[in-house]
Amino acid sequence: MPDISTAPIDQVFLDELVHFSPFAIYTCDRDGYLTWFNQAAVDLWGRTPVIGKDMWSGSWKTYYPDGRLMNQDDCPMALTLKSGKSHERSEIKIEQPNHQFKDLLVFPRPVFSNSGKLAGAINTLIDITEQKKAEKRQSTLSAIVESSDDAIVSKNLDGIITSWNNGARRIFGYTEEEVIGKHITIIIPPHLRSEEDMIIRNIKAGKKIDHFRTIRIAKDGSERHISITVSPVKDGKGNIVGASKIARDVHEQLLRENEIRLANQRLEIMNSIGTGLLGKVDEHAILQKVTDATTKITGAAFGAFFYNMVSDNGESFMLYTLSGAPKEAFERMGMPRNTEIFHPTFAGEGVIRVDDITKDPRYGKNPPHNGMPHGHLPVVSYMAVPVVTPGGSVLGGLFFGHPDAGVFKAEHQNMVVSIAAQASVALDNSRLFQEVKALSIKKDEFIALAGHEMKTPLTILKGYLQLLEKGEVDPLKRMFLDKSVHQTNRLNTLIEELLDISRVEAGKLSLQYEYFDFRKMAYDIMETFRYTNETHEIIVVNTKKDLFINADMQRMEQVMNNLLGNAIKYSPKANKVYLDMDIQNEMLTVKVKDEGIGIGKQDQDKIFTRFFRVSENKNISGLGLGLYLSKEIIERHGGTISVTSSKGEGAEFCFSIPINKQQGN
């Protein structure tokens, strides 16, 4: 093989080589004037310099690598010519006339003549712009990776760890040296090893895994809840060669999510209690709901409500509701007694919340058990909240227990206290309701009794009046007699109404169905009205020949008397009442219309309730029972009754009943 340095080389080859070299090459004479340059130099400078005129270099502007502008006669080529020494591998930046920048490595070398005198210099320029950019990108990326809070790890397709950043060290506790070259399963718990196969399978298929929540094991053996994103890593040819994994520690996030979930759950419970207790009057239901909800909300193993009862042998507390444990769990134990631990709750002295009751100085002092009786539910965490009425008396207490220590926190206490306050209001309402109910029963009993007591003398009175009617009397006495009979009849109707109320309340208003002509019955009533009432005329506006129905005739008479009587009574300035009776589709429909004082919209529903009378009409006599009874009778017949009216413009009462209803259905 020939020695390259001594091998002869053709000048033409040499010219070709430098002229078309991919490296920019140029020369200057010893005064610095450009003497020659190749095409690559022109491309790099972005301009064609003038031989013999441009000095040191053909570049438009030159800069130091840090961006400062460089005087042309300070450039490496100038320095080489001035010093006669080469300035190889200097780095500069040049600007092209189109304002593009290039990073260059320059290799200026002095050239000496045969006599050893400086003849000029030759410079080679290497464009390192792309390389510098890549370096910059790389260092930015590295800085990002290193400064990331997330763990960024890469591994090859065999699962061997190839890089490990600061975040990974912080989360998993291993240093880079400890894990590089090790298998990724070093941080995967044994029961989750199959995940790694799944991840590698996906990576090999070119698939990314996004935000996959899992658990990894740190160096100290503790669990780390993380969310991982794994992406395939490709080589320059696009082949998948490994995976990069970003893992975020989601432990705090999980805790927060958990807290939010619990807070929401509590809010829901608080809300459901609030609305659940509204209007509740059943004491047991209230206390059970409160005990269940507070047991759940506090995370107690069991909760109970004890009433503050005074027994023969002093104070003892009665178990009323229990949640989370069977009732027998307490019944075998007997009731808690007036011990140091229970006393403050039943005395309403405030909440007791203890992390470990068995270590409490008040605990275990009372014989015979000296602590919890044998077989008692294990209580370590203990909380007791008194339930005090708005009036200040202690109704009882809510008690909670848990076999672990330190379960009940201040937030649990606050919630139970607020629920206990709501419960005590609901319980108070329930008591008031029970009292009102008891009074109402007493009132009904009184009405029934009074009605019966009045009925007896009235019947006797009517008997004597009938006897007198049969005898000879002068016209004046006859008139007095008629009026007396009329008034006793009114009194009888009022007493009957009172008695009917008692019957309705007791569920004893029985109906006697019979088949009769409603039309005939209505005409008979009208006849009586004509006889007892001279002010109004009852006009039948529509009827058929006969209107046979199956119903309780007496009760239907009662309804008609009430509606026609009211129409007359509440239209003092009018003199007509209209009656419309019809049967269609197996329904009898009756309308009674007057031209009286009418009823305001706000009272139209109320007039069908017991004892309600429109306040402005109190000067017109009545008990406010007629419409209530009429409605009851119509509904018992399977029908409906309603009113259409405006204040001052008369009223129309309308009822419908089926014509073939049978007794008892």
Residue ranges in contact with ligand ADP by CB under 6 A: 562, 566-567, 570, 594, 596-599, 607, 612-614, 617, 622-628, 651
Which 8-state DSSP code applies to residue 438?
H
For residue 313, the minimal CB distance to ligand ADP (Å) is 56
- Write phi, then psi, for 258 (nearest 5 degrees): -65, -45
- Of 526 and 614, the one with the shorter C-beta distance to ligand ADP is 614
d(CA 297, CA 418): 12
* Cβ atoms of residues 533 and 568 within 8 Å: yes
Answer yes or no: are the C-beta atoms of 139 and 219 closer than 8 Å: no
Give the nearest distance from C-beta 609 to ligand ADP in angstroms: 9
Nearest approach, Cβ of residue 599 and ligand ADP (Å): 5
**Shortest approach of ligand ADP to residue 446 CB, angstroms?**
19
Return the number of the residue (283 or 635) whose C-beta is nearest ligand ADP. 635
348 versus 622: smaller Cβ distance to ligand ADP: 622
For residue 63, how far is the Cα from the chain centroid?
65
Outline where DSSP puts E strands in 182-334: 209-217, 223-234, 240-249, 302-311, 314-323
Task: Give the whole-angstrom CA distance, residue 215 versus residue 195.
Answer: 10
> What b/e readout covers 331-346, taking b as 16+ CB neighbours within 10 angstroms?
eebebbeeeebbebbb
CB of 328 to ligand ADP, least distance (A): 55
How many angstroms separate the CA atoms of 113 and 188, rounded? 72
Minimum Å gap between C-beta 618 and ligand ADP is 8
Residue 154, CA atoms < 13 Å, CB-side half-sphere: 13
Find all residues with CB under 8 Å of 249, minimum gap 6, and list them: 149, 150, 151, 171, 224, 225, 226
> In the complex with ligand ADP, which residue's Cβ is closer, 97 or 600?
600
CB atoms closer than 10 angstroms to residue 20:
10
Q: Which is nearer to ligand ADP, 240 or 654 (CB)?
A: 654
Beta strands across the sheet bearing 161-164: 161-164, 151-156, 240-249, 223-234, 209-217
- Say how far apart CA 183 and CA 178 lie, in whole Å: 11
Nearest to ligand ADP of 176, 537 (CB atom): 537
Can you say whether the dihedral through the CA atoms of 34, 40, 44, 50 is positive or negative?
positive
Minimal distance, residue 501 CB to ligand ADP, in Å: 11
What 13-22 contacts at long range (C-beta under 8 Å, 24+ apart), as own/partner pairs, is none
Q: Using CB atoms within 10 A of its CB, is residue 656 exposed (0-12), middle (13-18) or buried (19+)?
A: buried
Residue 125 or 627 having the CB closest to ligand ADP: 627
Looking at the Cβ atoms of 145 and 563, the one nearer to ligand ADP is 563
* Closest CB 490 distance from ligand ADP, rounded Å: 11
Residue type, 312: D
- For the bound state, the minimum distance from the C-beta of residue 483 to ligand ADP, rounded and expressed in Å, comes to 21
**Spatial contact of 630 and 656, defined as CB atoms under 8 Å apart:** no
Q: Which residue is nearest to ligand ADP (CB)?
A: 622
Taking the complex as a whole, the smallest distance from the CB of residue 503 to ligand ADP amounts, in Å, to 16
Q: CA-CA distance, 642 to 179, in Å (whole number)? A: 88
Residue 212 DSSP SS3: strand
Q: Which is nearer to ligand ADP, 35 or 589 (CB)?
A: 589
Report the residue number, 243 or 607, with the smaller CB distance to ligand ADP: 607
Pairing state between β 576-584 and 537-542: parallel
Nearer to ligand ADP (CB atom), residue 152 or residue 577: 577
Least distance (Å) from ligand ADP to the CB of residue 445? 22
